[in-house]
Each structure stands twice: as structure tokens, then as C-alpha cells.
Amino acid sequence: MHTLKQLKSGQLAGLSKLTLSENLTEFPSAILTLADTLEVLDLSNNKLSSLPKALAKLKKLKIIFASNNRFEVLPEVLGACENLEMIGFKANNIKYVPENSLPKKLRWLILTDNQIESLPNTLGECPRMQKLALAGNKLKTLPENMSQLHNLELLRISANDLAKCPEQLLDLPKLAWFAFAGNPFSAADLHIDTVPHVSSTSYQLHNVLGQGASGVISKATWVASTDFPEEVAVKVFKGEVTSDGYPKDELQVCLKVGQHTNLVKPLAQVTEPECLALVLALIPPHYHNLGLPPSLKSCTRDTFPEGFSLSPRHIDKIISQMQEVYSHLHGNQVCHGDLYAHNTLVDDEGNIIFGDFGAASMYHMLSESQQNKIKLIEARALNYFIEDIQSLKAG
């Protein structure tokens, strides 16, 4: 994190990555002094509502983030930034996306949690687009020419107002990670009770075990004696919408999938007005993450710690288990939407536990043809997973 004082004093001269969060209401003109070097600009968590035309003077700018601000219109000047590749304006109040606001080199666009009802056709004219996050808006339709986004690999359209399945997306040749729950076309009026309901007062939360886009997982113990294990994990869902969709859809998907040796095991559910949570079997501490999330450079592909490798035996075992998980999910007409190594836990024997259903979508309500295409989309994610794991072969 940098300060405006540092920037104005010249201490940041020659900087390639700038992060400013000081409740800014106006774009600091001092940023333009970095025109010859600045490649990444992060103005998230401020009170900005506009950007100046002079932003286009930042000729080397490749990435701009401005989440959690007060924008109501995606700034048109973004389209004039000739080298801009990544745009992130999550959690603003954006209602309008001008047709000239999308630069031709764009390959990563995050507009999650805004108020957008429609998108310009110029979105379909971004041939390099790989990652597109539109969840949590008010989209009623999507541009037909999105069928031209032949490099699109990850797409989030959950929690919108799409009445019809956007067929133009289902044949995209590289689409692998697809989330679409929480739309009228994918509505699933299910209330699955395969696990019992419990009160949020029936357990006590302890240390945080992990957290993601949709919630926080904590270790917990029961307040009163139950038939459950004494120690469990509890995932408490965040807010009304996440970067992947509605928490209530994630809860229902977890229950619809049912039990499998290699999936996190649900034990109970909490569905109170002020608390939505899932009680899970506690994962043994000797399990660890198989991979790391994608980086800005890898965009959609997993990353791994430097020097990390696996034996051929473990590689074969991990792949075999994930193939079984894929079959189990789609046998229950569920698309995980986030089939990645970083959502997979593994132990020293190569046993895996797969979880994080935040981007998962049920698809039993779709036509047979649409269902088959959804399966093929996630089959690509499985193939990418296999490629990544095989690349870790020791020696």
C-alpha cells in the first residue's frame, strides 16, 4: 500500500505498481507523473465516481482495479487505454457500460456486484477475453455476439435476471469454468433436507480454518451433546451475493450432490433469517492445498509453489479420484464451475478431498442438449486439471 503523500513528494518515481486507498473522491493527478512506468493501478476501496480523460496518458497501463467505489458508469476512458488488459470494478453502483469503455486488448473483466441491466455489443468484439465475471447484476440478456469470444475460459453470470439460457455461450471452444445459478432460466425450487436443520446457537465457533468468496469456515464444537462428531467445521455464508452467485444456491448444490469419498461431507444446515451455514465434517489436519489460485499472469490456470512435484503414483491416483468426482457431480446434474487444484486438498498418500461449491450450478432444468454442453464445458476444466497435475511429475 502506498500513500498520496509519497506520490506527491516524488518518492514513488519509476513505480510500476501503485495501490492507493485513502477515501479518495477524485483521481489524484499526481498519478500521471508515473506515465512512463505505471503498469498496475489499484484504486479499490475509495469513493471515486469518475476517471479523467488524462488516464489514457498512462501508456504502459495494463491493469486497473477500482472495486468498492462509487462508479455508476464504467468510465469510457478505459477504452482509450491502448495497452489495458485487465479491468476490475467489482462492488460499485454501475448501471451503464458504454460501448467505447472496453479496450480491444481486454482479456480480464470483473464487473461483479453492480446494477448492470445490459451490456454493449462491443463486449463480443474483445477477441482476447479469457476471464469475465458478471455475477450479481441485473442482466436480462447477453449480447449474441459473445459467441465470438473464442478465447473465453472462465465465465460467471450467476445471480442475474436471465430468463433464457444464453445458448451463444455453450459452444465457446475454450470455456471451462462456468457459473450460472441464480437466474430465472436456472431456477431450482428445491429445498433439500438430506441433512438435518440445526440452530446457529447449537455450536460454538472457534478458530478460522479458511475463507473464500462465499463464506468463512471455522472450527466448531457443539454446545450440547449430539450424534455428530464433537469437533466439526462450519461454513457461514457471507451476505446476499458473492463473486460467484447466491449463497443459498451454494447450500442447495452441496446437498444435492450428496456424499462421495472425495467430497467434503455435509452434516447439517442452518437456514435462519440472519444466518445461512453448512456444518461439515472436519478435514484431518494432514491435508493441504494441492495448488494455488491463478495469478494475474496465468489468468485462469492454477499456480503451484516453486519446486513442488508429485510422484507418478500420486499423480495417477489424484487424477483417477478427480475423474470419479467429475462423474459423481454430473451424475447428479451439477456443474462445479470451479474445478481447480486450488480447491482440492491432498494428503501425503495422494488422497484428495474436493470442495468449494461457490460457483456450482444445478442444471437438471435445462434441455438434454444444453445439459450435454454443460458437461462438455466442465470436461475441459477436468482436462486442464489433468494437464496441470501431470506437469508436476517429479524428476
User: Does 163 have pLDDT greater than 70?
Assistant: yes
> What's the CA gap between 42 and 47, in Å, rounded?
13
Q: Phi then psi for 367, rounded to 5 degrees? A: -70, 165
User: Does 312 have pLDDT greater than 90?
Assistant: yes
This prediction has a pTM of 0.94
User: What are the residue ranges of CATH 3.80.10.10 in the chain?
Assistant: 1-152
Higher pLDDT, 248 or 104: 104
Three-state secondary structure along the chain? Answer: CECHHHHHHCCCCCCCEEEECCCCCCCCHHHHHHCCCCCEEECCCCCCCCCCHHHHHCCCCCEEECCCCCCCECCHHHHHCCCCCEEECCCCCCCECCCCCCCCCCCEEECCCCCCCCCCHHHHHCCCCCEEECCCCCCCCCCHHHHHCCCCCEEECCCCCCCCCCHHHHCCCCCCEEECCCCHHHCCCCCCCCCCECCCCCEEEEEEEEECCCEEEEEEEECCCCCCCCEEEEEEECCCCCCCCCHHHHHHHHHHHCCCCCECCEEEEEEECCEEEEEEECCCCCCEECCECCCCCCCCCCECCCCCCECHHHHHHHHHHHHHHHHHHHHCCEECCCCCHHHEEECCCCCEEECCCCCCEECCCCCHHHHHHHHHHHHHHHHHHHHHHHCCECC
Of 140-154, 200-214, 244-258, which one has max mean pLDDT?
A: 140-154
Query: In CATH, what number does 203-281 get?
Result: 3.30.200.20
> What's the CA gap between 354 and 283, in Å, rounded?
11
pLDDT recorded at residue 46 = 98
User: Which residues are known binding-site members for ATP?
Assistant: 235
Give the sheet arrangement for strand 266-272, strand by strand: 203-211, 215-222, 231-237, 275-281, 266-272
**For the CA atoms of 332, 172, 384, 347, what is the dihedral angle to 10 degrees?**
-30
> For the residues 335-349, what does the mean pLDDT come to?
97
> For the residues 237-258, what does the mean pLDDT come to?
83
User: Does 395 have pLDDT greater than 80?
Assistant: no
> For the residues 121-125, what does the mean pLDDT come to?
97
User: What are the residue ranges of CATH 3.30.200.20 in the chain?
Assistant: 203-281
Amino acid making up residue 162? L
> Which residues is 19 bridged to in the sheet?
42
CA dihedral over 206, 209, 211, 216, signed as positive or negative: negative
User: Which residues are known binding-site members?
Assistant: 235
> What's the CA gap between 64 and 71, in Å, rounded?
14
> What's the CA gap between 197 and 248, in Å, rounded?
14
Q: May I ask the CATH architecture of the domain 288-390?
A: Orthogonal Bundle (1.10)
Considering only 20-34, 160-174, 192-206, 366-380, which range has the smallest mean pLDDT? 192-206
> For the residues 203-210, what does the mean pLDDT come to?
93
> What's the CA gap between 15 and 39, in Å, rounded?
9
Grid cell of 138 as nine digits: 441485473
pLDDT recorded at residue 173 = 98
pLDDT band per the 50, 70, 90 thresholds, residue 134: very high
Grid cell of 50 as nine digits: 469518475
> For the residues 160-182, what does the mean pLDDT come to?
97
User: Does 245 have pLDDT greater than 90?
Assistant: no
Burial (CB count <10 Å: 0-12, 13-18, 19+), residue 140: middle
pLDDT band per the 50, 70, 90 thresholds, residue 83: very high
pLDDT band per the 50, 70, 90 thresholds, residue 243: low
Q: Phi then psi for 331, rounded to 5 degrees? A: -65, -25
CATH for 1-152, among 3.80.10.10, 3.40.50.300, 1.10.10.10, 3.40.50.2000? Answer: 3.80.10.10
> For the residues 253-270, what does the mean pLDDT come to?
92
Question: Which residues have C-beta within 8 Å of that of residue 209, sequence separation ≥ 6?
Answer: 217, 218, 219, 233
pLDDT recorded at residue 248 = 84
pLDDT recorded at residue 258 = 87
User: Does 131 have pLDDT greater than 90?
Assistant: yes
